């Protein structure tokens, strides 16, 4: 039963001519699916509506070929032939009584038009925002008139596709309308440039055009960046944003407000806390009578009630929390608070869009697989036979495999050699900024503690002989991986013979013994060939203990893959602020007791730096000895009644925590299936 404190979250809210059934609003967010994978897109959004989100939005939806975001997989309403794909989504959302919203976008300076080959358009002649060697041309008044018509036509197509809410978008520094608002992009001297009122003119006109196009059947939403965290160089919440909203206060039916650019709007938990946008968005309701939605990675219903009760927002906007748990609203409604899969703010979901593939989620292994594999986040078919499973290893893969198997009705024994659950999740969550990652462990462990068909054993190191003796039918080896101490990684593909072993540490050493593993003789050098988060987090950890740190990487920048999770600039900035010396574009060439020889990755030129301790963050090796031992005992396994022995997670192939959770979930889904169905291929579906 729902806690009465949360009743306010389930009140219907009027948005112009339509009514949202509750205050849960899935704001526009990318999925990596869009116009190329419309069935997968529709199924994902439909499940969110099933999970109780009162409004479910698309991602950016391009209105015209001059706003072509290829290779990104966004929505598309260029022409009438795009309507059927979009209607798949609205039908899926409406099936569960939710409203469907579309974020119409012309990206202006953010579009390179790689597919359409159209010349980009902008308020003024300028090089585009991305790295493509392309410049946009300044729009003349006839271009502006055409743009207004394109937007109105797209709004009509959106209405025909069944959308209830149509967006006018000016956010994330990705919108032509925002570019007209900003003095740094708009250098015009005509009626669309110069003064504030002139720069606002096109925004005001497009809102009116959109309303005229859709009539009184669709609501008009405006998405506006209220602060760019650029000071006087950008929009500020207490200056320009307030002026914009005051000038247009009641013209749209809803204000969707956030930070710009995307890296500010979707800050990871490493750099922000729940509700981090409130200082910038709390003013909006004081200057408009229309409902307001905002975001802040809200996962706690108490925080949601506080935001609504204090009049900060009318809707709880969410992207990432709705990905981690599409059924978050239904769980609050049913009084199942502990059952929520809380977002950990790792931004692995974001990386899907940034690498142009369907999204993934650390907490929710079913995301992106709703159509492709027919996976539901809350429903798993019951096992066809009651065979038992022994899972060796209680890290993310083992915990997820056990959780999903017990949900299917299987009997599971989960054993771990350590004195605590979670494996790498527990270790990494103790590092700076990663505490919320422990939710991966806590959610699954709580689920397992609620059921009768799971036996959990810590401090239980199992041998091959033990497993044969138990005779449990199905064995999953989830024993994880270890960080290598021989230098093998992306640049150095063979072990480095010159390493001084007694001076080498790995992340396992620093996570196991903490900074006490570091000696007192000289500075610490961290060599990062992993190129994601681990090395930079360890640098913070070591610096906090008072050690001097030099960060060496073959990459031109620190943690380059973290650009996909919107963290790279923040990571590099933090290391600089902490006094870490960064040595990019160098690899290892030699080592003595107190120094390290580096070689430039481009020229090969060498240099020496002081090194009292070298921390290698390069790659990991599977901890798969137990699997190999069992694999060699084919006859003994058969005699013991063991039918299958399977590696999962990092034991199979070291990767992200998200990959480990997915591996464990896949194992549980495949249990008992003699011939699992192949994933559907949407790129082939149109040929049938």
Q: The domain that contains 447 carries what CATH number? A: 3.40.50.720
In what helix (H) or strand (E) does residue 213 lie, and over which residues does it extend?
A: helix 196-214
pLDDT of residue 684: 67
pLDDT tens digit sequence for 344-373? 999 999 999 999 999 999 999 999 999 999
Domain with residue 543: its CATH number is 3.50.50.60
- 573, 600, 621: which is the final residue of a domain? 621
- The rounded distance, in Å, linking the Cα atoms of 201 and 199 is 6
- The rounded distance, in Å, linking the Cα atoms of 688 and 681 is 11
pLDDT of residue 515: 81
Instruction: Please determine, for residue 398, whether its predicted confidence score (pLDDT) is greater than 70.
Output: yes
Q: How many CB atoms lie within 10 A of CB 239?
A: 11
pLDDT tens digit sequence for 616-638? 999 999 999 999 999 999 999 99
- The rounded distance, in Å, linking the Cα atoms of 259 and 311 is 19
Residue 589 lies in a domain: yes
Q: Which two tokens stand for residue 372?
A: 């492709």
The residue behind tokens 């013979």 is: 497
Domain with residue 306: its CATH number is 3.20.20.70
C-alpha angle 562-587-654 in degrees, rounded to nearest 5 = 50
Q: Give 675's pLDDT tier (boundaries 50, 70, 90).
A: confident
Nearest CA-CA partner of 103 in 155, 172, 167: 167
Whether residue 452 is found in the same domain as residue 598: no
Rounded alpha-carbon distances, angstroms, from residue 310 to 258, 304, 660: 18, 10, 40
pLDDT tens digit sequence for 42-56? 999 999 999 999 999
Q: How many CB atoms lie within 10 A of CB 4?
A: 7
Residue 436 lies in a domain: yes
Residue 505 lies in a domain: yes
Residue-wise burial string across 495-512, b where 16 or more C-beta atoms lie within 10 A, e elsewhere: ebeebeeebbbbbbbbbe
Instruction: Please determine, for residue 270, whether its predicted confidence score (pLDDT) is greater than 60.
Output: yes
- For 285-344, the DSSP string reads GGS-SS-EEE-S----HHHHHHHHHTTS-SEEEESHHHHH-TTHHHHHHTT-GGG-----
Whether residue 288 is found in the same domain as residue 307: yes
Whether residue 497 is found in the same domain as residue 448: no
pLDDT tens digit sequence for 637-659? 999 999 999 999 999 999 999 99
Residue 636 lies in a domain: yes
Residue 361 lies in a domain: no
Residue 569 lies in a domain: yes
Whether residue 465 is found in the same domain as residue 542: no
Nearest CA-CA partner of 109 in 8, 187, 47, 35: 187
Residue 157 lies in a domain: yes
> For the chain, what is the domain count?
3
pLDDT of residue 685: 54
* Contact of 475 with 415, CB cutoff 8 Å: no
Whether residue 462 is found in the same domain as residue 574: no
Mean pLDDT of the chain, nearest integer: 96
pLDDT tens digit sequence for 443-485? 999 999 999 999 999 999 999 999 999 999 999 999 999 999 9
H helix runs in 58-135, sequence order? 83-94
Looking at residue 118, what DSSP letter applies?
P
Tell me which residue range forms the domain holding 207.
4-345
- 289, 315, 345: which is the final residue of a domain? 345
pLDDT of residue 518: 86
- 621, 641, 658: which is the final residue of a domain? 621
Mean local confidence (pLDDT), 323-351: 98
- The rounded distance, in Å, linking the Cα atoms of 583 and 8 is 53
pLDDT of residue 514: 79
Whether residue 137 is found in the same domain as residue 263: yes
Active-site residue set = 30, 169, 172, 265
Whether residue 550 is found in the same domain as residue 402: no
Q: Give 431's pLDDT tier (boundaries 50, 70, 90).
A: very high
pTM over 0.85: yes
- The rounded distance, in Å, linking the Cα atoms of 106 and 75 is 12
pLDDT tens digit sequence for 289-300? 999 999 999 999
Max alpha carbon distance in the chain (Å)? 86
Whether residue 114 is found in the same domain as residue 141: yes
Rounded alpha-carbon distances, angstroms, from residue 406 to 31, 79, 328, 449: 30, 48, 21, 11
Whether residue 43 is found in the same domain as residue 60: yes
Whether residue 451 is found in the same domain as residue 583: no
Whether residue 325 is found in the same domain as residue 469: no
C-alpha angle 227-232-234 in degrees, rounded to nearest 5 = 40
pLDDT of residue 439: 98
**Beta bridge pairs of residue 105:** 62
Q: Give 688's pLDDT tier (boundaries 50, 70, 90).
A: very low
Residue 376 lies in a domain: no
Nearest CA-CA partner of 320 in 351, 289, 285: 351
Phi, psi of 72, deg, nearest 5: -60, 145
pLDDT of residue 521: 66
Whether residue 540 is found in the same domain as residue 597: yes
């Amino acid at each position: 039963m729902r806690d009465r404190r949360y009743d306010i979250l389930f009140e219907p809210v009027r948005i112009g001519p339509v009514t949202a059934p509750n205050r849960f609003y899935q704001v526009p967010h990318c999925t990596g699916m869009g116009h190329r994978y419309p069935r997968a897109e529709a199924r994902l959004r439909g499940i969110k509506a099933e999970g109780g989100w009162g409004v479910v939005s698309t991602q950016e939806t391009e209105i015209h070929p001059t706003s072509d975001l290829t290779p990104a997989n966004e929505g598309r309403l260029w022409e009438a032939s795009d309507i059927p794909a979009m209607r798949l989504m609205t039908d899926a959302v409406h099936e569960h009584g939710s409203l469907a919203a579309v974020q119409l976008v012309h990206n202006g300076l953010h579009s390179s038009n790689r597919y359409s080959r159209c010349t980009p358009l902008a308020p003024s002649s300028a090089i585009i925002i991305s790295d493509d060697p392309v410049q946009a041309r300044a729009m003349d008044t006839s271009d502006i008139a055409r743009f207004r018509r394109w937007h109105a036509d797209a709004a009509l197509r959106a209405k025909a596709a069944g959308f209830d809410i149509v967006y006018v978008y000016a956010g994330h520094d990705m919108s032509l309308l925002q570019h007209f608002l900003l003095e740094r992009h708009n250098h015009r001297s005509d009626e669309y440039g110069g003064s504030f009122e002139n720069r606002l003119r096109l925004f005001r006109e497009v809102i009116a055009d959109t309303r005229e196009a859709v009539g009184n059947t669709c609501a008009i939403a405006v998405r506006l960046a209220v602060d760019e965290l650029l000071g006087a160089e950008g929009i500020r919440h207490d200056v320009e944003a307030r002026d914009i909203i005051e000038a247009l206060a009641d013209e749209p039916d809803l204000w969707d407000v956030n930070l710009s650019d995307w890296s500010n709007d979707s800050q990871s938990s490493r750099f922000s806390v729940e509700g981090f946008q409130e200082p910038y968005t709390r003013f909006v309701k004081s200057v408009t009578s229309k409902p307001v939605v905002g975001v802040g990675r809200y996962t706690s219903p108490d925080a949601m009630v506080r935001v609504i009760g204090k009049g900060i927002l009318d809707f709880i906007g969410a992207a990432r929390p709705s990905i981690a748990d599409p059924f978050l609203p239904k769980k609050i409604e049913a009084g199942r608070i502990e059952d929520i899969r809380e977002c950990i703010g790792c931004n692995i979901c974001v990386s899907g869009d940034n690498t142009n593939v369907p999204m993934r989620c650390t907490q929710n292994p079913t995301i992106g697989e709703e159509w492709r594999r027919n996976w539901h986040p809350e429903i798993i078919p019951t096992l066809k036979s009651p065979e038992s499973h022994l899972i060796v290893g209680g890290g993310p893969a083992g915990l997820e495999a056990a959780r999903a198997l017990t949900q299917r009705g299987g009997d599971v024994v989960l054993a771990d050699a350590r004195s605590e659950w979670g494996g790498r999740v527990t270790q990494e969550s103790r590092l700076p900024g990663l505490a919320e990652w422990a939710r991966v462990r806590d959610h699954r462990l709580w689920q397992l503690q609620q059921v009768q068909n799971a036996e959990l054993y810590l401090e239980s190191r199992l041998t091959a002989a033990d497993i044969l003796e138990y005779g449990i039918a199905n064995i999953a080896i989830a024993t994880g991986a270890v960080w290598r101490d021989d230098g093998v990684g992306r640049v150095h593909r063979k072990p480095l013979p010159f390493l001084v072993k007694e001076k080498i540490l790995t992340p396992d050493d620093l996570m196991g013994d903490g900074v006490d593993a570091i000696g007192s003789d000289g500075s610490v050098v961290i060599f990062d060939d992993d190129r994601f988060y681990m090395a930079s987090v360890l640098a913070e950890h070591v610096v906090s203990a008072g050690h001097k740190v030099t960060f060496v990487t073959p990459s031109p920048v620190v943690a380059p893959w973290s650009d996909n999770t919107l963290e790279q600039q923040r990571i590099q900035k933090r290391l600089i602020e902490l006094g870490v010396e960064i040595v990019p574009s160098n690899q290892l060439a030699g080592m003595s007791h107190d120094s390290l020889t580096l070689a430039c990755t481009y020229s090969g030129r060498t240099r020496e730096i002081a090194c009292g301790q070298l921390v290698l963050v390069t790659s990991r090796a599977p901890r798969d000895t137990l699997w190999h031992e069992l694999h060699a005992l084919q006859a003994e396994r058969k005699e013991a009644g063991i039918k299958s022995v399977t590696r999962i997670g990092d034991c199979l192939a070291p990767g992200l925590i998200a990959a480990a959770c997915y591996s464990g979930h896949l194992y549980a889904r495949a249990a008992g299936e003699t011939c699992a169905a192949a994933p559907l291929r949407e790129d082939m579906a149109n040929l049938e």
